[in-house]
A and B are shown apart, each in its own frame.
Chain A
Amino acid sequence: MGKEVEITSTQRVETNTLLEAASDLAKDIARSKPFLQFQEADRKLHEDSEAMHLLTKFSELQQKILAQHNAGAISEGDISWLRELQRAIGADDTIQEQNQARENAASFLREVNVEISKMLGIDFASLTRRSGGCC
């Protein structure tokens, strides 16, 4: 987690200005082709109850196996079931299209970040990261 940094009232005003600017930029990003396509693919996925069911089942089973792993007793049956679900997810067009659309949107965000970072002379995304994990 980030450190608590005290800021002055002037800085609070400046923060609000920048937050508004970030929102304006976000509105533009959301109107780019990769983001419109991602929104559409995401909407389709959420309307596809079968695909959503697969993802929910997969996530639940993953949690269950993780708990089994921590307890030192993994069920072979659950592992086979997980592989089966993984195959089904891999073969589901709606899920795969949403995955691809999300990757395209992320790739576009990387271009936006490069543009911002070039102007600042420092990687902007890494400044925004709330750390945790290895970095």
Chain B
Amino acid sequence: MNETKRGDLNVLPKSVVLQAARQFAKLLGDTPRFREFEQAQLDFRKDTKAQTANQDFQTKQASLKALLALNAVSDEDRMELQKLQDQFYHQPSVLRYIKAQEVLVAFCQEIGDQLSKDIGLDFAASCKTGGCCG
């Protein structure tokens, strides 16, 4: 971390820092990895087959919620649930979206580590608000 300089000459106004943040965001938003994530997300949302597969899986899972909590689901239902889950996760748009998300997260984690190291505070942890998942 930089040493604090005497006097306020080196203090950057908030507006300047926020402007720098916007420039940084623009740079990140223009990278092929971010664009691929956005496009994959959009295509997944527009993919009716993937959305139906998701809905079918969610509906089945919700219907078995109480039994799942008690670990009392029948073999038949368990297999059906597994089949619906597999169907969802094998949709091309889902696979692409998951992959794009993994790639983007790994990219952003590196960036976050750099930010944290340079500012001397954990960026992600500092941005959490309230509770463990805030």
- Given A19-B114, A32-B12, A32-B17, check contact A116 B108 (CB 8 Å): no
- Contact partner of B25 (CB less than 8 A), chosen from A15, A108, A119, A126, is A119
Number of B interface residues in the complex (CB < 8 A) = 54
CB pair B21 A15 closer than 8 Å: no
CB pair A32 B14 closer than 8 Å: yes
Interface-centre pick from A17, A38, A127 (highest chain B CB count, 10 A): A127
Expressed in whole angstroms, the Cα–Cα distance for A52 and B113 within the complex equals 27
Asked whether any CB of chain A lies closer than 8 Å to the CB of B71, the reply is no
Expressed in whole angstroms, the Cα–Cα distance for A129 and B117 within the complex equals 14
Asked whether any CB of chain B lies closer than 8 Å to the CB of A72, the reply is no
Contacts of A18 in B (CB 8 A): 27-28, 31, 107, 110-111
CB pair A130 B115 closer than 8 Å: no
Interfacial residues of chain B within 84-124, with CB under 8 A of chain A in the complex = 102-115, 118-121, 123-124
Contacts of B32 in A (CB 8 A): 11, 14
In the complex, what residue of chain A is closest to B10 when comparing beta carbons? A31
- Contact partner of A130 (CB less than 8 A), chosen from B11, B14, B21, B109, is B109
Shortest CB distance A20–B (Å): 9
CB pair B118 A14 closer than 8 Å: no
In the complex, what residue of chain A is closest to B41 when comparing beta carbons? A122
Asked whether any CB of chain B lies closer than 8 Å to the CB of A25, the reply is yes
CB pair A128 B111 closer than 8 Å: yes
Number of A interface residues in the complex (CB < 8 A) = 57
Expressed in whole angstroms, the Cα–Cα distance for A124 and B16 within the complex equals 19
In the complex, what residue of chain A is closest to B105 when comparing beta carbons? A127
CB pair B107 A15 closer than 8 Å: yes
In the complex, what residue of chain B is closest to A27 when comparing beta carbons? B118
Contacts A129-B112, A130-B109 known; list 20 others, CB within 8 Å. Answer: A14-B31, A15-B107, A18-B110, A22-B115, A25-B24, A28-B17, A30-B120, A32-B11, A32-B14, A33-B11, A108-B14, A111-B18, A115-B21, A117-B25, A125-B127, A128-B109, A128-B113, A129-B125, A134-B133, A135-B132
25 contacts between A and B (CB under 8 A): A5-B102, A7-B103, A23-B114, A24-B20, A32-B17, A36-B4, A36-B10, A39-B4, A42-B120, A106-B127, A109-B123, A110-B126, A110-B127, A113-B123, A116-B22, A119-B26, A120-B29, A124-B108, A125-B127, A127-B108, A128-B108, A128-B109, A128-B112, A129-B124, A130-B113
